[in-house]
Structure 1
Amino acid sequence: MTFNKSFAGAAFATLLGLATLGTTSCSKDFIDLADPTRLPSAEGYTDSLSIVTGVTAAYSSLQDIYGNGSNRGLFVFSELPSDNTFALTSGELLNEFNDFTLSSINPRLQSHWQVTYRAIARCNVILNRAGAVKLTDATRNRFYGEVRFIRALAYFNAVQIWGDVPLVTSEIASIADAYQFGRVPKIQVYAQIEEDLAFAEANLPVTYTGANLGRITKGAAQGLLGKVQLTQKKYGAAAVSLKKVIDANTYTLQANYANIFLTTNEMNSEILAAARYTKGGLGVGSYFSTWFMPVLPAAVALTVNGNVGTGQQYNSVDPDLVAAFTASGASDVRAAASFGASTVANLTQYYTKKYSDVPTSAFDAENDWIILRYADVLLMYAEAVNEQSGPDALALDAVNRVIRRSRNLPVATAAPTVDLPASISQPDLRTRLELERRLELNLEGHRWFDLVRTDRAIPVMNAFFMRTGSASRLEARKLVFPVPIQEIQTNPILKQNEGYL
C-alpha cells in the first residue's frame, strides 16, 4: 500500500479516553467504530499489510487532532486564547477559550483529549505488534519512526495544553489496565517525546516523493525536536537540532509567501510536516475553509484568491493583529496573503485567508494544516541562539531571510534596508522575534504556545485586554487548561489542574 492523502481511520475503540486498535485488513476506507466496549483483537496486526494499515491509521489521527467532524482542532487551544483571533460562533463555547472562563465541562476539552489519546493508542499498537511481523529491519524501523513522531507530536500538544498528562507507551489490553494511568510530571513526558523524536531522526529518510509525499521525514523529526527543546528552554540543544535542518538544505523558503498555502502547492519546499486532507466526497476533506470563511447572505458571493464560497466563520482575525500588520508597513506582503475583510450590515469582520478553497460540499475542502515549516525553523533557530548569548551572524541571517521574503525581496541576498543591524541587542532581537513569529505564522497554531514558551503570555495578554477594554485578565494558573471533567469522573486517579472545578 502506498501513502496518499485519501486515508481515513481504522477500526478503533475509545476506552476511557485511551483508544485501542483492532483491525486486520488493508483498505483505503476504514471505519471508526468508537465503541467503548471493544478491545484489541489478538488476531489483528499479524502480517505486513495489516501493519501498513495501522501506520496509515496513525497518520489519519492527525486529521482528528488538527480538525475534523469529531474535533474542532488545535487552533481552539493555540490561537483562540491569544491576541490573534476571537470566537464568533455561538453554541460551540469557543468564547471560553478567548476570555479565559473555561470550565472542565467544555466539550472542546473532552473531544481533544479523546482524539489525542486515540492517536497515541494507534501508535502504541504498531509499536507493540510490528516486532512480531516479518519485515526488514529498515522497514520496521521506518514504521516505528513514523508512529513515534506522531506519538511525540500528540504528547507535545498535550503537555502544552494540560501540563502533566497520563503517559501511555504500551497497548491498553483491558479496562483494568486503563485505570492505572494517572497524570505524571510533564518532565517525564518531555523525556519520552525527545526519545521518540531521536529515534525518528535516526530511522527516517531525508525525503519522500510520489505517492509517499507527506510521510514524516528526518527533517521533520529534527525540527520538532528543536521546538520541543526550545519549549523546555534547552537552548543549546535546540540550536543544534534546528541547525541540522538548516544545514541539510532540504527545505527552502517559498519565494512568494502566499504560495505556501495554495492547495495546488501542497507539501512544497517550505513544509516539513502537515496534517493532510483531500476533498472530493471521500470523507477526508478539511473543514477549515467552511469554519473560517465569513457567513454571508445567500445572495452575496465572496471571492477570495479567485475562489468563490461562503462559510461559518467560527472566529474572526482580531483587529489587534491587523494593526500589528499595519505597523509593520505596507511593504509587508504577508498581510494581503493572511487576512481579508467581510462587511455585512455595516459590520466588518476579518477572516484568515490561509485556508481558502472551494469545498466540494460543506466541510470537504483540500487545505492541509501545516504543522511545521521552514520559516518557523529559521525563527526558532535565531531564538535559540539569542537566548544563549545574544545574536550572532548565523542567527541574524536566519531571521533576515524571513524578513526579506516578507518584503518580496530575494531571501538569500543581503537587503540592508530591511535587514536587522549586526549591532542589535539580545533584548531587541527577542522583541523582534516575537513580532516576526506573530506575523509570519499567524493563524497556523503557534501564537498562544509561543507566548507561554517565552513567559510572555501574562504581560502580552493583559496589555491586550487593557487596550481592547476587556474585563478579562490572565493569571498564571490559566496558562494550562482544565482536564475534561468526564475523564476525572471516569478515572478518579486523574487530578484537576489548580483553580478549575
Structure 2
Amino acid sequence: MKQTINKYIFLFTLGLSLIIAGCSKDFIDLTDPTRIETDGYYNDSASISTAVIAAYAGLQEVYGKASGSRGIYPIAEIASDNTTAVVEGSGVGDFEFFQATSSNQVLQTQWTYNYRVIARCNLVLSRIDAVAMNAVVKERYKSEVKFIRALTYFNLVRTFGGVPVVTKEIRTIEEAYEYGRASVEEVYIQIEQDLNEAKADVNLPDRYAAPADLGRVTKAAVRGLLGKVYLTEKKYNEAVTELGGYVSAYDNTIHSLLPNYSDIFLTTNEMNAEIVFAVRYTKGNVPSTGSPFPNHFSRTTAEAGGVGTGYQFNTLRKDLVDTMTAQGAADKRTAVSFVASGTGAWITRKYRDTPAQDLDADCDWIVLRHADILLLYAEALNEQSAANVATAVPFVNRIRTRAGFTGAALLDPLTVTQGQLRLAIEKERRIELNLEGHRWFDLVRTGRAVEVMNNHFTKYAIRVTTTSPIVQIQAFQLIFPIPINEINTNPILTQNPGYN
C-alpha cells in the first residue's frame, strides 16, 4: 500500500502521515480535510491542536466508519459466541467461522488505521516540544496522545500478537523498512510506559467541566485502561493496585452506575457518568463524522431508523439471546439489549438512532465504562487470590442489583468459591457488555476462548457448509494473520504460525 503526503511516499503502513479530517462532537471541530505539508506546518499551538484532534479523529476509522472500516466488532464480537454476520460484507463473515486469511480486508483496515493513528500521535510527540505554547496544555496534549497510542497498540497486540513498535515520526521510506515485529512483551512494555507517563501528568484532569471537552482523555480513562492492560498480561498485583486506585478515586464521585441501564446508550445522554472513554461521532457533517452502527447492526431499513440500509453485519447469536433470557424477567438488560427481527433473528438495541443518511448516525462507541471497570476489578481481585473472593463479590453484585436482581439472585460472598466467581464474572461481563466489543478479548484473556467456542460450535452444530465438519478452532487462532500486503511490502515482517 502507498500513501503520498506531499514529497513523502510511504509504502509501509507505518509511514502513513497525517490526513487531517473532521471528527466528532464539540471538542473535535471540522477541519480542512486536504493533505497538508508536515514540514514547517506544526510550529505553533494551533497546528499542534489540529494534530491532536487528528489523532482522536483516527479512532473513528479504528472503531468503525462509513468510509471503509467495518471497525473492531468483527474481531471482538463476530469471532465470539455473541454475534453472527448474516451478510458477510468485506470479509466480516470470515470471523464467524475462523476463516480469516492474511488477505482479509477487515484485518488490513485494522492494521492500516491503527498505525495511522500511531503515526499521528508520534508526529505530535516529535514536534510539540519545539513549539512555544502554554506549558500546561502542552503536557496535557502529550498525555492525551500517549493514551491514544497505548489504546491502538493494545488493539493491535490483542489482534495480531507482536507487532512493530514505532514511537517516533517516520520521515523516509528507509526508516519505515527498519521496523520488524516486536515481541508481545515489548509491545506491552510500550503500552505500560505510555499509560504510566500519562497517569503521572498532573496536568491531565480527572474530568473536564466544559461540555465542549467531553470525550477527551482523562486520568480516569488512563487508570482504567492501564488496569485492563495489567489484567490482560496477568499481572494481577498491578491490576488490583491500578483498578483499586481507579475505584478509590472515581467510584460514585466522577463516575458511577446509572440507575437505568437503558440510559447509558441514549444519543441524548452521551458521555454520561458511566462513560469513561468513548470514540465520538456526530451525524450530518460534511465530510462525514457519523457512525455506521445503526445501519451495520440492523437487518432492515426500518430497524436502522428508516434511513439507509440494514446491512446485517452484526446480529445476535441464539446462544447470547438464550443466555440473557434465561436470567428471567428480573434482568432489565434483556429488553434494552435486543429485539426480535423476524424468525430466529435478533438485533441489538444499544445503537439506536435515526441516521442523517446511510451510515451516518450519532451513536458513540463506548471503549471504557464504569461497569466494565468494576467487573475488571472484581476479576483482578479474584485472580490475585482466593482470599479476595469476599472483597470481589460486592462489585459483581452492584452490577446485578442495577440489572434488577435482589436477594438470592445475588452472589453470596460467604459461600461462592474462586472458581464459581470466575465463571460468574465471565457471564456477567458477557451480558452487561454485550455487543460493546469485549467478548472475544475477554475469552482470550481468561484462557477460555478455545473451550467456549468449540463447545458453542458443537452445541449448535455450526458448519461452514451443510456437509462440512462442525467448526472447531485451535490455539493458534487466538490471534489473527498479519495482512499479506504488509508482509509483501516489508519483507522483514513475519507471519503468525498457522497462517500463510
Above 0.5 in TM-score? yes
Q: 1:420 — aligned with what?
A: 411
Q: 1:191 offset after TM fit, Å?
A: 0.7
| 1:276 equivalent among 277, 280, 295 | 280
Letter in 1 for 2:105: P
In the superposition, relative to structure 1, how do residues 380 and 60 fare at CA in structure 2: closer, same or farther (>3 Å)? same
Partner of 1:322: 321
Gapped runs of 5+ residues in structure 1?
1-9, 410-414
CA shift in 2, pair 1:13/1:112, >3 Å: farther
Q: 1:213 maps to which residue?
A: 214
Superposition pairs for residues 78-477 of structure 1, below 5 Å? 78-203=76-201, 204-209=204-209, 210-248=211-249, 249-282=253-286, 283-295=288-300, 301-302=302-303, 308=306, 311-343=310-342, 347-390=343-386, 391-407=388-404, 415-422=406-413, 423-470=415-462, 471-477=470-476
Asked whether the 8 Å contact 2:21–2:32 carries over to 1, the reply is no
Change over 3 Å in CA distance of 1:178–1:421 after alignment to 2: same
Name the structure 1 match of 2:484: 485
In 2, the alpha carbon distance for the partners of 1:366 and 1:440 equals: 22
Residues 117 and 14 (structure 1), Cα distance of their counterparts in 2 relative to 1, 3 Å cut: farther
Q: What is the letter of the counterpart of residue 262 of structure 1?
A: L
Distance 2:9 2:177 in 1: 16
Q: Give the whole-Å Cα distance in 2 for the aligned partners of 1:394 and 1:217.
A: 27
Q: Secondary structure at the match of 2:326?
A: helix
Q: 1:32 and 1:496, CA in 2 relative to 1: closer, same or farther beyond 3 A? A: farther
Q: Which residue of 2 aligns with 1:5?
A: none
Counterpart contact for 1:23–1:44, Cα < 8 Å: no
Q: Distance in 1 between matches of 2:157 and 2:168?
A: 19
Deviation of residue 28 (structure 1)? 2.4
Deviation at 1:402, TM superposition (A): 0.4
In 1, the alpha carbon distance for the partners of 2:87 and 2:34 equals 28
Residues 320-352 of structure 1: CA deviation (Å, up to 9, x unaligned): 000101222221111111111111xxx441111
- CA shift for structure 1 position 416: 3.0
TM-aligned CA deviation for residue 418 of structure 1:
2.8
AA at the equivalent of 1:291:
H
Q: Distance in 2 between matches of 1:192 and 1:290?
A: 36
Does the Cα contact within 8 Å between 2:21 and 2:34 map onto a contact in 1?
A: no
Give 3-state SS (helix, strand or coil) of 1:417's partner: helix
CA offsets, 1:165-188, max 9 Å, x none? Answer: 000000001011000100010101
Task: Give, in whole Å, the separation in 2 of the partners of 1:475 and 1:216.
Answer: 37
Alpha-carbon shift at residue 135 of structure 1 (Å): 2.0
Paired amino acid for 1:110: Q
Q: What is residue 30 of structure 1 aligned with on the other side?
A: 32
Preserved contact between residue 80 and residue 86 of structure 1 (Cα < 8 Å): yes
Match of 1:62 in 2: 59
In the alignment, residue 341 of structure 2 is paired with which amino acid? S
Per-residue deviation, 1:27: 6.8
Instruction: String of CA shifts for 1:354-405, please: whole Å, max 9, x gaps.
Output: 1111001111100000000000000000000000112344311111100101
Q: 1:91 to 1:326 in 2, by over 3 A?
A: closer
Paired residue for 2:25? none
Give, as a single letter, the amino acid of the residue that structure 2 aligns with 1:473: Q
Question: What SS class does the counterpart of residue 31 from structure 1 fall into?
Answer: coil
- Kindly provide the amino acid, as one letter, of the partner of residue 42 in structure 1: D
* d(CA) in 2 for partners of 1:13, 1:463: 48
Deviations 1:170-220 (A, max 9, x none): 000101100010001010110110111111112210111321111000000
Shift of 1:464: 0.2
Normalising by structure 1, what TM-score? 0.90
Which has the larger displacement, 148-157 or 466-475?
A: 466-475
Structure 1 CA distance, aligned partners of 2:170 and 2:351? 37
Q: 1:434 to 1:23 in 2, by over 3 A?
A: closer
Deviation at 1:14, TM superposition (A): 5.9
CA distance in 1, matches of 2:443, 2:77: 11
**One-letter code of the match for 2:205?**
P
Counterparts in 2 of 1:113 and 1:14: CA distance versus 1, 3 Å:
farther
CA offset at residue 22 of structure 1? 7.5
For 2:217 and 2:471, the matched residues in 1 are separated by 40
Give the counterpart letter for 1:334 in structure 2. R
For 1:31 and 1:81, the matched residues in 2 are separated by 34
SS of the aligned residue for 1:274 comes to strand
Q: Bigger CA drift: 24-33 or 62-71?
A: 24-33
Over aligned residues, Cα RMSD in angstroms?
2.1
Contact 2:163 2:181 survives alignment (8 Å): yes
Aligned AA for 2:483? P
Please give the secondary structure, in 1, of the residue aligned with 2:424: helix
User: How much has 1:280 moved relative to structure 2?
Assistant: 1.6
* Aligned position for 1:20: 17
**Equivalent residue pairs, number:** 471
Superimposed CA distance per residue, residues 213-259 of structure 1 (whole angstroms, 9 cap, x where no aligned partner): 11000000000000000000011111111112211232000111011
Q: Using the TM superposition, give the Cα deviation of residue 261 of structure 1 relative to its aligned residue in structure 2, in angstroms.
A: 0.4
TM score, norm. by length of structure 2: 0.91
Amino acid in the other structure paired with 2:430: R
Residue 308 of structure 1: how far off its partner (Å): 4.8
Asked whether the 8 Å contact 2:21–2:30 carries over to 1, the reply is no
The worse-fitting range, judged by mean Cα deviation, of 85-94 and 378-387 is 85-94
Q: Retained in 1: the 8 A contact 2:277–2:367?
A: yes
Seen in structure 2, the aligned counterparts of structure 1 residues 424 and 14 have a Cα distance that, compared at 3 Å, is farther
Residue 86 of structure 1 contacts residue 317 of structure 1 at CA under 8 Å; is this kept in 2? yes
C-alpha distance in structure 2 between counterparts of 1:212 and 1:161, whole Å:
30
Percent identical residues: 47
- The one-letter amino acid paired with 1:30 is D
